[in-house]
Amino acid sequence: MLPRVTILGLGYIGLPTAALLASRGFRVQGVDSNPAVLARLASGRAHIAEPEVEALLERGLRTGLLTLHAEPPPAEVFLIAVPTPLGPDHAPVLEHVFAAARALAPALAEENLVLLESTSPIGATARVAALLGALRPDLSALHVAYGPERVLPGRILTELTENDRVAGGLTPEATRRAVDFYRLFVRGAVLGADAATAEMVKLAENAFRDVNIAFANELSLIAEAQGIDVWRVIALANRHPRVNILRPGPGVGGHCIAVDPWFLAAAAPEAARLIPAARAVDAAKRAHVIARAAALAEAGERLICLGLAFKADVDDLRESPALAIATALARRFPGQVVAVEPHLAAPPEGLAAPLLTLEQAFAAPGAVLLLTDHAAFARIPRAWLEGRAVIDTRGLFRDEETE
């Protein structure tokens, strides 16, 4: 018999996970502290744009396998999937995690499994267990583990099941129970570890990408200074059998790659050398893009910012370098900046620039600043770009050569 699952936090990970598990026959109890989110979900409408999630949400509500709650009901498995932002000094902020732990404590029973899925610094799972132990000293057998997701926005439902997964408990029994739970719906391998190892694995994966993207961005700055096409350099260098340079851009975004490296560095600041350097390269690349665009604006150019999301073909604005760059330019040059983001219906709060369609944006003169490589932008007629200054941070408009 499948266990009941209570999921705390119905955001980018919690909602798809809840909808997926309900579609697999689990009795899922979704919990969120935001009444507006609960009201929207209760109507069968998802508040995130992710393929197939809304259809599974509606089905789960209709069948009764997915129910929505403001407070956590009892279950056999509790899954915490709440935000873990950075503080102003790049320190991990775990208040949402601890609030979720306090909220679920009254619903706990003997032999329950509590899974922390929120991206967390090393030691967070142990801190959650300590908090739960203090709140519920009457429980002698509570199993706490860390089970980080490995998903890509736009493919979350697929990757929740297909990707390999690491599950790390605070005890061997907690690890066994976490691995057994994930194996109920994950087709990829589920690998056991201790909690601290699982926490570091998650952070290492995203820090790896951050460091390698920083290298690509540093190459782009060097190549630009030398008048060399960095895209050609990378394509040719990647013909080496042991080289795989990633693609440069205006910086990294999303909750994971832009945040997790700081969580890892916080574990041993005196040992972290490369990670802060990569973060500094990211900041330098954003500043460089702003400086190039500002020079055009100072010369009187209207700026057309193409893309606000942090990656192609999603509406996700979390830690988006595109949004940060467009916002900085709009504040510095009021009335000279417009934005095009086909995945948003209205401009995000604080942008201070109008959100236009492609046709509206290109109806008047202006320089083009390509910040996100949405598929819609790849279809822009090249005639629309003629006679305009173009800053292409993604290489989307580059004339491809035979590599």
Q: Which residues are catalytic?
A: 202, 256
* Sign of the dihedral through C-alpha 254, 85, 182, 264: positive
Question: Phi then psi for 80, rounded to 5 degrees?
Answer: -100, 120
* Burial status of residue 96 (CB atoms within 10 A of its CB: 0-12, 13-18, 19 or more): middle
Q: If residue 296 lies in a helix (H) or strand (E), which one and from where to where?
A: helix 274-298
**Helix or strand run (H / E) with residue 339:** strand 337-340
Do 178 and 117 touch, CB atoms closer than 8 A?
Answer: no
| Whole-Å CA distances, 203 to 30, 75, 114, 261, 375 | 26, 29, 20, 6, 30
Q: Give 314's DSSP letter.
A: -
What backbone torsions phi and psi does residue 41 show, to the nearest 5 degrees? -65, -35
**Cβ contact 323:351 at 8 Å:** yes
Among 314, 388, 316, 375, residue whose Cα is nearest residue 348: 316
Burial class, 344, CB count within 10 angstroms (exposed 0-12 / middle 13-18 / buried 19+): middle
